[in-house]
Amino acid sequence: MKTSKLFAAAILAMAIGAPIASFVGDANMPRPTTFTGPKSPFVHTIAPPQADGQSGLASLERANEWLNSAPLTAADLRGKLVLIDFWTYTCINWLRQLPYVRAWAEKYKDQGLVVIGVHAPEFPFERNVDNVRRAAMDLGVAYPVAVDNDFAIWRAFRNQYWPALYFVDAQGRLRHHHFGEGDYEQSERVIQQLLAEAGAGGVSRDLVSVEGAGIEAAADWASLRSPETYLSYQRGERFASSGGLVLDQSHAYAVPTRLGVNSWALSGEWTVKKGVAVVSKSGGGIAYRFHARDVHLVMGPSAPGTPVHFRVRIDGKPPGAAHGTDIDDLGNGTVSEQRLYQLIRQQAPITDRLFEIEFLNPGAEVYAFTFG
């Protein structure tokens, strides 16, 4: 491929949530691959009904738990247009899609649309139903949620992505799907057409007007040059501290004098594990040279209820107006729960910059950077 094509493929991969890998070490977990084909706003069309009528809805009976609703079955949903939305609450791609799904659920509920969010966890703490319940409440997810900790529904739909939308018509037949962010107009047109096919009256042909705010704002794709980066020895890439990662034991790291773009390094005492890096002593830090408008970090306290304070710098200075929603203009913030934190949102022009975070207490668990 030419460089331009490689870059386009990389940007598309960032628009589709990370596939599950072997981060939990379970050979029975699904191992999807990232779609890197061409992206077009209207690449998908509505498929004719499947001859065997299978849509995966029967697997809803295998959900571990339901939130916002009594358990729903394929029989309960007969005659309804069902939109299945696979999500995991720390996925930045899903968070940026969420405003549209919320708006569709509200706009079309009286015409027969039922949105079901199927929560399939990426990180271990996302298997905690209390965490999922809190995230749903904080993010305004009021439609039914099927907790899919065993990936039973995921497998039934042969899904591979976060986020992923599956459109099941009133006869229970899978008619359309979309993977990743974008194509919102096309997806809403599919909803309108399938509702009309089902005989729903008064379906507006207008489109929802959505402008995501805060962490839900659309990415600045034109400036985004930094990929999702995991801070662990199983999935970590582009680690730059001298001597590499020391596995499963506390070790003192240092940041090199020069850090290349999209490289990261640790400073101070850290214990790097298979799926996470843990601050062993106060003063542990991370440096990352990035090129993006937004910087997010998935992290949480090791001990529930024990907050960890931190400080962010950008090019060695407090972020000022470039601070994200989870820190102040001096760069101060607190890790109080296991979730995705928005740390930087800067204005144009976007250039290569050095992000640094220092944890003022031990006990922070840090999983992954994402950008926007």
Question: Domain 3-216: what homologous superfamily?
Answer: Glutaredoxin (3.40.30.10)
Q: What percent of the chain has pLDDT over 70?
A: 85
The identity of residue 289, as a single letter, is: R
> What pLDDT shows up at residue 15?
61
What does the pLDDT average to over 82-89? 98
> What integer is the mean pLDDT of 29-46?
31
Taking the domains of the chain in order of start, what are their residue ranges?
A: 3-216, 229-371
212 φ/ψ angles, rounded to the nearest 5 degrees:
-65, 140
| DSSP at 207 | P
> Has residue 262 got a pLDDT over 70?
yes
The whole-number average pLDDT for the span 304-321 is 97
What digits encode the pLDDT tens for the residues 45-59?
334 444 344 469 999
pLDDT beyond 90 at 339: yes
Per-residue pLDDT reduced to its tens digit, 341-354: 999 999 999 999 99
pLDDT: is 133 or 35 the higher one? 133
Percent of the chain's residues with pLDDT above 90:
84
Say how many C-beta atoms besides its own lie within 10 A of residue 70's C-beta.
7
pTM of the model: 0.88
Q: What is the pLDDT of residues 195-208, one digit of tens each?
A: 999 999 889 999 99
CATH 3.10.28.10 fits 229-371, yes or no: no
- Please give the average per-residue pLDDT across 298-318, as a whole number: 97
Of 162, 125, 145, whose CA–CA distance to 32 is shortest?
Answer: 162
Strand ranges (E), the chain: 65-67, 81-87, 113-119, 145-147, 164-168, 174-179, 229-230, 250-253, 264-272, 277-279, 285-290, 294-301, 308-314, 332-335, 339-345, 353-359, 364-371
Backbone angles phi, psi at 250, to 5 degrees: -65, 135
Indicate whether 11 pLDDT > 60: no
